[in-house]
Structures are given as C-alpha cells and as structure tokens.
Amino acid sequence: MTILTPAQEKLRDEARDFTATELLPVANKLDPQHADIPWSIVDRMAELGYFGIMIDREYGGLGLGMTEYCVVTEELSRGWMSAASIIARANGTGSAVADPAWRADILRRQAAGKFISAGAFSEPEAGSDVAAVSCRAERRGATYILNGHKRWCGWAEAADALLILARTAPGRREGLDVFLVEKPRGEFPPGITGTPIPKIGYHGITSWALEIRDLEVPATHMQVGPNGETGTGFALFANLINWGRLHTAARAVGAARGALEDALAYSQDRVQFGKPISSFQGIKFRLADMATQVAAARAFYLDAAARFDAGQDCQQECSMAKLFASEIAEKVASSALQVLGGNGYTTEYAVERHWRDARLTQIFEGTSEIQRTIIAQHLLRQP
Ligand SMILES: Cc1cc2nc3c(=O)[nH]c(=O)nc-3n(C[C@H](O)[C@H](O)[C@H](O)COP(=O)(O)OP(=O)(O)OC[C@H]3O[C@@H](n4cnc5c(N)ncnc54)[C@H](O)[C@@H]3O)c2cc1C
C-alpha cells in the first residue's frame, strides 16, 4: 500500500480539517437546497492553494503533483463531491494558449482561484463518442465563428471561462480544437444561452445545456500543442480525461468514505434489541467489507497517481483505478444507507447524498463501459 510522505500527510490533514469544520456543514445545508457551492467556500479553497496544487510555484501554485492533487480531492469529496470537482477546473486546465505572457497570466489567476473554467465538451449526440462532436468553428479572418449545442457543461454560468470543443475541419479526432472563451462570472457571453439540466444529485454544481449561436472567438484563443500545433482538440481532451479519471477515482473514494464514516458513527449510536447495532455481526461484517473496499480503491488510485507523477504511460491504470473506485463507491454508499435503515432513506442524513454522488462517478469522465473497453484494448494490445 502506498505510504504518504510527511508533507503529503500534512496536506491531507489540512484538507481533512477544512472539510470537517468548514465544508461539510455547508454541504449538508446547501446540497438539499440544490444550491451551487458558495463563493465563500471557493475563496477558502483558493487560500488553501487547491486551485494551484499542480501549478508551478513561480505562478503562485503549490508546485506539487497528481498524488497530492488526488489526496486533497479525496478529502474534499468526503465532505462534498461538488467542491472536490471544481479544483479540476483550474490546476493548469485551459492554459494552453500560444502567447506565453497570457499563459502565465492564466496560471497566476488560476492558482489564486480567480480563473475557474468550465468544460463544454459533450453534446446531445456526442457523449462517450466525443469525436462525434458537431459544434462548428468556422474561420473568418482572425476570428472563428462557433455554432452548435453542448450538454452537461458544469459550472458554465459561474465560471470565469469556457473551454469549448469544436470542429474546425471535417473528420473525427483530427478536425477538433478547443477554444478558450473568457467571460464574467455569473453570466453567459453574447452568443451563448444556457438552460440548467435537472439532476438527481451533484447539486453543488449546476450542469447546463448550452446553445451556441454565432459566437465570435479570436483565433488566438485556440488551445495549442506544446509546439504551437493546432488541430489538437482531441489530444487535449484525451490528456485531460486521463487526469480526470484519477481525479474521479479520488472523488469516488471520498464519497464512499463519507458514507462509511457516517455509517460507522450511526451504528455505534443506534440501539436496537438493547444493544448498539454495531454489536451485530451482520453490521460488523458489512462495515469491515466497506472499509476494505475503500482502502483498496485508495491504494489503487495512489499507485496510478505515482505512475503518472513518474511520467509513465499509465492510461490503463488510470482507467482501472477509475473503474474500480466508482464501482465500489456506489456499493459502499448503498451499504452505508442500509446501516442507517429508514433514516438512510431520508434527506436528514448525508448518506443518501454520498450515494447519489457516488453513482455519478460511474458515468462521467468516461462511463464504466468505456473504462472496460480501454482496459480490454490494452490487454488485447489494441489501444
Ligand atoms: C452530472 C454530469 C456532469 C457532467 N459534466 C460534464 C461537463 O462538465 N462537461 C462535459 O463536457 N461533459 C460532462 N458530462 C458528460 C459526461 O461526460 C457524459 O455523460 C458521459 O461521457 C457519457 O455520455 P452520455 O451521457 O452521452 O452517454 P452515452 O455515450 O449515450 O452512453 C449511454 C450508455 O451506452 C454505453 N456505451 C456507449 N458507448 C459504448 C461502447 N462503445 N461500448 C459499450 N457501451 C457503450 C455507456 O456506457 C452508457 O451506459 C457530465 C455528465 C453528467 C451526468
């Protein structure tokens, strides 16, 4: 099992303390109201450095790696998965513009929590098959004109910028680019209208369906490859999704741990047949299985994160860690709900929230079926 360094343990303990004292009470109050993460929480997360964990120190970040990013993610997700999600909308995401001065400015603002983006990749007809994106970007002089529909864009209205995946040339993977559209917080820019999507969970982040009509974007706002290459939209998305899989594995473990810890506490308080229910073997064994699954999923994502930090090609391990964590998270959260009996089936306890959030981890950042497809392709040497 991966052992954390003292510095990583310190970072984890700070995040654990923030979650217990500041984040969890807000989540328990606001999630049932379907309210977005408040800016006061975003600002505190910025002070703690969570939007710049993987940004170099010269830009004001913590200059750390994927391991630390995942460790913090698990802690935040133990309190509120939505809050764990928005750190992925900074930490370098969207900074691949060609102008080095602008890039440095984006990184500085991200590290300070002043540049939080939203990813508009999925479309009504392009989910798992993201290469089927049909949102068009047509060049007119120094500008691109974007038209199309996007679905599921989380935090879109609140964000400081949108990252829009659009088709610049016919084809599939090769004809895609990502455009950075800066905008004021709490508004959509001219050319975009948004409609919130009603969901059964993940309430701290409103997800939007977007209609993009004649949106003008300067050509300089296109994300480019390390040597200024264009047509890199799919590669950029694929790179982000590898990060996203580890981040989601950590989010799943956090949600599962929240459910486990709540069930553990409840089982010691709740008395039936004259004894705490934790004294019954049926409950003990259930708790033991839940704790084992959480520990295994954590060890798995830490191993994959260590490979990522070592610069290894770890696509298969990222998919495995995401698949395993998201599958056990729903089972663990469901088991926790059972420990709470009827109270588990109410919104008076947070277990049902962890269960709904855990369920989502099997769908976004590549469904469980897509992870299995990737893993099988590696096994069969057909990546
Ligand atoms: C709450 C939420 C938040 C999201 N946030 C964002 C966001 O911020 N930005 C963004 O761009 N997207 C976002 N997404 C979109 C998310 O990435 C997609 O929902 C996901 O990729 C699945 O696509 P789909 O929903 O269109 O399902 P589909 O692709 O239509 O899949 C339907 C079913 O078919 C299965 N399937 C599809 N292809 C295959 C195959 N080849 N083999 C086997 N089974 C297959 C799937 O596994 C699934 O079970 C979000 C989604 C949700 C639910």
Q: For residue 198, what are its two tokens? A: 């009603």
Tell whether ligand 1 has an atom less than 6 A from the beta carbon of residue 199. Answer: yes
Q: What is the pLDDT of residue 229?
A: 87
Is residue 365 among the annotated active site residues?
yes
Q: How far apart are CA 227 and CA 218, in angstroms?
A: 19
Q: Ligand 1, closest atom to CA 197?
A: 1
Is there a single domain that holds both residue 102 and residue 179? no
- List the catalytic residue out of 317, 327, 352, 365: 365
Tell whether ligand 1 has an atom less than 6 A from the beta carbon of residue 363. Answer: yes
Residue 1 lies in a domain: no
Cβ neighbours of 134 (radius 10 Å): 13
Q: What is the pLDDT of residue 383?
A: 56
Is there a single domain that holds both residue 238 and residue 367? yes
Q: Ligand 1, closest atom to CA 118?
A: 8
Q: What is the pLDDT of residue 174?
A: 87
Residue 60 Cα to ligand 1 middle (Å): 35
Residue 209 Cα to ligand 1 middle (Å): 14
Is there a single domain that holds both residue 309 and residue 325? yes
Tell whether ligand 1 has an atom less than 6 A from the beta carbon of residue 364. Answer: yes
What CATH number does the domain containing 363 carry?
A: 1.20.140.10
Residue 195 Cα to ligand 1 middle (Å): 19
In terms of Cβ atoms closer than 10 Å to its own Cβ (0-12, 13-18, 19+), residue 214 is: exposed
What CATH number does the domain containing 34 carry?
A: 1.10.540.10
Is there a single domain that holds both residue 223 and residue 247? no
Is there a single domain that holds both residue 95 and residue 140? no
Print the domain residue range for 30.
Answer: 6-111
Is there a single domain that holds both residue 263 and residue 297? yes
Is there a single domain that holds both residue 169 and residue 238? no
User: The whole model's pTM is what?
Assistant: 0.97
Per the structure, the count of domains in the chain is: 3
Cβ neighbours of 133 (radius 10 Å): 26
- Asked if 12 contacts 302 with a C-beta cutoff of 8 angstroms, the reply is no
- Asked if 256 contacts 294 with a C-beta cutoff of 8 angstroms, the reply is yes
Q: Ligand 1, closest atom to CA 126?
A: 26
Among residues 64, 92, 111, the one where a domain terminates is 111
SS3 294: helix
Residue 99 Cα to ligand 1 middle (Å): 33
Tell whether ligand 1 has an atom less than 6 A from the beta carbon of residue 132. Answer: no
Q: What is the pLDDT of residue 2?
A: 67
Among residues 85, 111, 137, the one where a domain terminates is 111
What CATH number does the domain containing 197 carry?
A: 2.40.110.10
Residue 348 lies in a domain: yes
Q: Which residues of the chain have pLDDT under 50?
A: none
Tell whether ligand 1 has an atom less than 6 A from the beta carbon of residue 237. Answer: no
Is there a single domain that holds both residue 356 and residue 240? yes
Residue 123 Cα to ligand 1 middle (Å): 10
Among residues 56, 85, 111, the one where a domain terminates is 111
